Structure 1
Amino acid sequence: MIQSSWTLLALYSAWWSSLGSLVSGQTLFNQPTEYFSNSTDPVSTQFYLDWVDTTLERYDASLFLSAANNASNGVAVHWSVRADTPDTITDNATSTTLRLAVAAPASGWVAFGLSENGGMSGSDVVVFEAAQPDRLRDMHILDTRAVMDDVCNDWTLIEAHLAENFVIFEATRVLDTGDPQDRIIFPDADTLIASHRIIAAWGNDESVSYHKENKARGAIRWFGEGAVEALTFEQTMRAVSIGSFEVRAVDHPVKTIDTEYAEFCLGRGQILAQTGLDGSPDSLTIVGMEPIIDPSTSQFVHHFTVYTSPNANEDGVVPCDDREYFELIYVWAPGEYGFALPLNVGATYGPNVAQSFRLQIHYDNPSLIADAVDNSGVRFYFSKQPRKHAMGVLQLGDPFVGLEGQTVGAGWNKHDFTCSGSCATMALGEEPVTVIREFLHMHQAGVRASNKQIRDGRIVRSSAIDYFSFAQQGNQAVLQDPFQIFPGDEFKTSCFYKGNTDTVFGISSQEEMCIAFLFYFPRKRISGLLPWLCAVGYDHFVPACESQWSSLVLSTTIELERIFGTVPEESQCLLKTTPVEIPTKAPVAVSNSNSIPNNKPANSSESTLDPTSGAVERESSGLILDFDAICRLLLPMTLLTLLIF
């Protein structure tokens, strides 16, 4: 295989606090004719405009990815998604095909990639080189960040257009090639589904090489009318909300220490004053949440969490150590954008549920930079109309950092956290809940994370981030459809690390964590009192919901259980032709349908759980709620507020 080195793409720029702000590295113009309007090369610009005049009608959507340091430098991306009948490969099925055009101000090459985490590692890349204008290179990138040719070439070059300092290529590929060295292009019109991360680079050498500043990154929704994450969220909020309020830092001086956890609290009176509503409404419905990242201090904001308290704190003086701040409502880390709830789901703001908020921001300042002042936080959008279901957040793994101080282990290691099915039975009773978004979180030593859902000893669903990158997205959304959790379902949350002898679990960015966050509806409480979660150390309060921890030293990277990047069988070089339903239009608001995929019962395609893998059998004793422990809990309730990364 031919290998060429790429350097790691730049980190995300800040998410601007104003509504309608853009995804990092992604500049939106009204028309493709404006994409290169600021270029200093009018000949190349005209070459692109001529192509637009004659060819753009073949494509349904477009966007411009600007270089991080120069908005006038970047690549234009045009695409459409079509169902082909009959399939051109097998002649007996319907495949769904992406038609893609990429244009860049380069004389040598241009590369476009589907990224799992927003960076290079774990990316699926297609490369066009002007020196070989009759072919494309289907490539991929693993841990070494070298670009390697795939065993199978699943891209078809339609046409290439070359000028002295400009290249355009047009190509097609089916959405799901069945090739483990390709990434699946997932139907993503519904904003419940995470958008796709994309990267690009270009240069003037004959073959793909170090790109210097010619690099860009962003997010894209392939289905519909080219909906981009920021604009999709903005359109949805305009349609379903009547206002917003903010919970954020106000001129907070970032300390000159490695790790700082700062807390900011608002009471009911302070929140309602922001809404502009007449009177004092008993309750509101939160319908969307949007991070506000101060661009001047984005490098310091590692992540933040938001908790609620049923205490109104009408006097406006809210002690941030209030023991009643234990209900998680929002979590953010780089790579996550605005989150619109389904039309039948909302987070209730009102008496006995949530009336005051605590924002906890984790600042990272390892270089001890002085005089940084931050105003980051979160904006909550609300409606007066109640919704059918309330949202909850299920936390799995080790959300309380119960393993604090425990050694992760030198070299490759795997840590498993198993949540017994007794916990789901206790929380759910007889009815299932629906998960609308799942996030996996680790720190710097983390290399892979997975979360398996187990029913009657069989794996019915498995999510994973094969190439986890703390630098790119510390809290990464899984690209998948909504799914259901039934009473009796177990979970096995696994985190894989490459550590050293000093790596331990803890709250610092230099220490480790292993947490899965599942946003679901309808919201559940254990015995109407405690949050539904599984955690190391929760056995003092709810024995059935104690995470059972085990660890394993790995001898090779094969034991990381990664799928992407593995060498395919020769037969897998034939394109896969799984039909995919194509939405005709990106929705302004997310679907109100209740027809969530039902993953019960297990089917024949599910893999059997190895009885030696550490899954915990359900025990009837786990259903007994320890009320003595609850009494002990109510005094130091602060322990339950410590969801810290």
Structure 2
Amino acid sequence: MACICLFRLFLLLVLAALYQGKHLNPTSHLRYSRFLDPSNTVFLRWDFDYAAEIITFEIQIRTTGWVGLGITDRYTFVGSDLVVGGVLPSGNVYFSDQHLVDEDTLEEDGSQDAELLGLTEDAVYTTMRFSRPFRSCDPHDLDISSDTMRVLAAYGLDDTPKLSRERTFVKSIFLLQIVQHDDLDVPKDTIIYDLEISNFLIPEDDTTYACIFLPLPIVSQKHHIYKYEPLLVEHNETMVHHILMYACGNASVLPTGINECYGSDPAFSLCSHVIAGWAVGGLSYQFPDEAGISIGTPLDPQWVRLEVHYSNFHNLPGIYDTSGMRLFYTKHLRKYDMGVLELGISVFPIHFIPPGAESFMSYGLCKTEKFEEMNGAPIADIYVSGYLIHTHLAGRSLQAVQYRNGTQLQTICKDFSYDFNLQETRDLPHLVEIKPGDELLIECNYQTLDREFMTFGGPSTTNEMCLVFFFYYPRINISSCLGYPDIIYVTNELGEEASENPMENLMILNNVEWTPENIKKAEKACRESQQTVMVKTIDEQEENTTGWIPDIIPTPRGPCLESSGGKVEPQDKTPAGFRLPLVALLFLQGTL
């Protein structure tokens, strides 16, 4: 009997040690990292368990005072949650879950939902590691989601937590990244190929779309492009808004040189099938191991239109730029060819947003019922692995919703906290299956409180867009599926006499007195009007159909997680929230 008790006690100690090592090891690897300030003083590492809905942060700041990390709102620091910690001169640690009651006053939460995993200080740095639920039951804790998160970091020079502007930083980050590119397979025979606009003099205009037609790599057999990344000139990054690669049909007659994409020469707007894209704030993107962009076969493009969108808001003269896209490709083929499907609202002025709107919803419908006919052959189900969402400065949120046989299936992707300065291709947590006949709806929300005139759809940064690009496989012969509302119906619903010429109706709408009531009336009319759906193939064939905007049923929020953390009191260096696992407690009970 004594032997059994000793064995149970020994096993209990082993389990407790294993538990402690797994959850509290301050040196365990965290996959993601980012500097949060311009001078690289504040360094964040993080990782997460998607199934358990727990995220772990480690903040390292060049200070021997207090440090803090949390989540904030787009518009104000009030209500931000901030986990605060530090090491006193005596060596004791302090740590607590707090929130901002005004712009610079911290108050401790009634519920302590952050769990301390490590807190150290040396002569240069203070480093704090902790975990917290994606969504706790504390109303003072902001949810961690797949939306753009505005991460708040702050620190002080002593151990009195108080915010100061010069030591407070906010950075937009996709915290719940799904794939770590370094973890994916890199073929040993990788070949690198650069596509660039060389030594281009950026015009002294707010917006310029510069285009050039360039050949893809010449290969004697099929290859797959499995990764791409932007090529940016140092100090010019703030002027490059996006870079897109459009595949060109092999029968196209293409112009030479660099010119305005959507200017007087229509040849420079040829080729509309996006195959790769980068936008401001983004990084490189690598496709999943089972798919890549095909090159080298008779069905594959041999040329691309490289489009670089410049935003020279300060009208700076004499700036030369060489931007573009770097491709990584291999002859070791993946199982599927990757395709890109463009969804949303057709980019032309029938898409309008009134001035002075706190919120204005726009919708673009896609009906896939014509995909098989336009593909020219039966098509299988396609699987979406990643996406890129895109609006301009007025955009506040986007979502893509899937319907089948008139029933809403799911929200495929969303960002209810969109940031124009962080546009990056994101991976889905799981593949999304789209069947022929499904409907896809893109919803965009805009705010124009700072505008006195109508905002129309268009290429300029001060115009608007509402687009989602799906990266999917296996590839089919469809490049885009875009919708737009019946502008004649909308004009009549606003009490104006509509013209048969759609563009004339835009001039009529421009003269409407945009009161809050008229703004909501216009939003309702756009939503209730019949949509024209334009479906285009990779080889530029186009057909139209019509449809109606279905209702969107909001996705219910999951249950919150009860507090599992606690506060580390002075004189107590044991990290907060330490708990023995249930199996250890059972063994302890048996031993006693």
User: Which category describes the TM-score, using the shorter chain as reference length?
Assistant: 0.5 to 0.7
- Do the aligned residues in 1 keep the contact of 2:187 with 2:330 (CA within 8 Å)? no
Query: Secondary structure of 1:212's partner?
Result: helix
Mapping of residues 506-517 of structure 1, within 5 Å:
506-517=458-469
Counterpart of 1:209 in structure 2 is 163
Point out where structure 2 has 5 or more consecutive residues left out of the alignment: 1-23, 260-266, 485-531, 536-541, 565-592
Residue among 187, 202, 206 paired with 1:258: 206
Mapping of residues 524-539 of structure 1, within 5 Å:
524-525=476-477, 531-536=479-484, 539=534
1:172 is aligned to 2:128 = no
Sort the Cα spacing of 1:312 and 1:497 in 2 relative to 1 into closer, same or farther, 3 A. Answer: same
> Aligned AA for 1:247?
L
- CA root-mean-square deviation: 4.7
Sort the Cα spacing of 1:140 and 1:489 in 2 relative to 1 into closer, same or farther, 3 A. Answer: farther
- Determine which structure has the larger strand proportion and give its number: 2
1:387 is aligned to 2:334 = yes
> Aligned AA for 2:161?
S
Sort the Cα spacing of 1:452 and 1:560 in 2 relative to 1 into closer, same or farther, 3 A. Answer: closer
- Do the aligned residues in 1 keep the contact of 2:342 with 2:467 (CA within 8 Å)? yes
Deviation of the 1:335 alpha carbon: 2.7
Deviates more, 1:173-182 or 1:412-421: 173-182
Deviation of the 1:322 alpha carbon: 6.2
> Aligned AA for 2:365?
T
Counterpart of 1:326 in structure 2 is 272
Counterpart of 2:475 in structure 1 is 523
- Do the aligned residues in 2 keep the contact of 1:203 with 1:211 (CA within 8 Å)? no
Counterpart of 1:599 in structure 2 is none
Q: Aligned partners of 1:513 and 1:314: how far apart in 2?
A: 29
1:136 is aligned to 2:96 = yes
Deviation of the 1:525 alpha carbon: 1.8
TM-score of the superposition, structure 1-length normalised? 0.61
Q: Aligned partners of 1:95 and 1:323: how far apart in 2?
A: 48
> Aligned AA for 1:574?
E
Sort the Cα spacing of 1:317 and 1:441 in 2 relative to 1 into closer, same or farther, 3 A. Answer: closer
Q: Aligned partners of 1:154 and 1:329: how far apart in 2?
A: 44
Q: Aligned partners of 2:115 and 2:188: how far apart in 1?
A: 42
1:397 is aligned to 2:344 = yes
Counterpart of 1:105 in structure 2 is 62
Q: Aligned partners of 1:121 and 1:310: how far apart in 2?
A: 53
Q: Aligned partners of 1:96 and 1:358: how far apart in 2?
A: 42
- Do the aligned residues in 1 keep the contact of 2:365 with 2:440 (CA within 8 Å)? yes
Counterpart of 2:441 in structure 1 is 492
TM-score of the superposition, structure 2-length normalised? 0.66
Query: Secondary structure of 1:354's partner?
Result: coil
Residue among 443, 448, 453 paired with 1:502: 453
Deviation of the 1:306 alpha carbon: 0.8
Sort the Cα spacing of 1:450 and 1:116 in 2 relative to 1 into closer, same or farther, 3 A. Answer: farther
Sort the Cα spacing of 1:198 and 1:249 in 2 relative to 1 into closer, same or farther, 3 A. Answer: farther
> Aligned AA for 2:419?
S
How big is each residue's C-alpha offset from its partner over 1:140-172, in whole Å with a ceiling of 9 and x where there is no partner?
A: 999x99999777542123554457875333433
> Aligned AA for 1:284?
H
Q: Aligned partners of 1:179 and 1:336: how far apart in 2?
A: 32
Counterpart of 1:608 in structure 2 is none
Q: Aligned partners of 2:107 and 2:462: how far apart in 1?
A: 31
Residue among 382, 385, 388 paired with 1:433: 382
Q: Report the identity percentage.
A: 20
- Do the aligned residues in 1 keep the contact of 2:86 with 2:94 (CA within 8 Å)? no
How big is each residue's C-alpha offset from its partner over 1:556-613, in whole Å with a ceiling of 9 and x where there is no partner?
A: xxx998999xxx9xx846259xxxxxxxxxxxxxxxxxxxxxxxxxxxxxxxxxxxxx
Query: Secondary structure of 2:369's partner?
Result: helix
Counterpart of 1:623 in structure 2 is none
Residue among 336, 341, 354 paired with 2:301: 354
- Do the aligned residues in 2 keep the contact of 1:203 with 1:214 (CA within 8 Å)? no
State how many pairs are aligned: 469
> Aligned AA for 1:344?
E
How big is each residue's C-alpha offset from its partner over 1:210-238, in whole Å with a ceiling of 9 and x where there is no partner?
A: 342664859698899xx9x6xx35x7574
- Do the aligned residues in 1 keep the contact of 2:42 with 2:59 (CA within 8 Å)? no
1:306 is aligned to 2:245 = yes
Q: Aligned partners of 1:493 and 1:122: how far apart in 2?
A: 31
- Do the aligned residues in 1 keep the contact of 2:105 with 2:162 (CA within 8 Å)? no
Sort the Cα spacing of 1:497 and 1:175 in 2 relative to 1 into closer, same or farther, 3 A. Answer: closer
Q: Aligned partners of 1:467 and 1:492: how far apart in 2?
A: 19
- Do the aligned residues in 2 keep the contact of 1:417 with 1:548 (CA within 8 Å)? no
Q: Aligned partners of 2:192 and 2:106: how far apart in 1?
A: 45
- Do the aligned residues in 2 keep the contact of 1:446 with 1:498 (CA within 8 Å)? yes
Deviation of the 1:495 alpha carbon: 0.8
Query: Secondary structure of 1:422's partner?
Result: helix
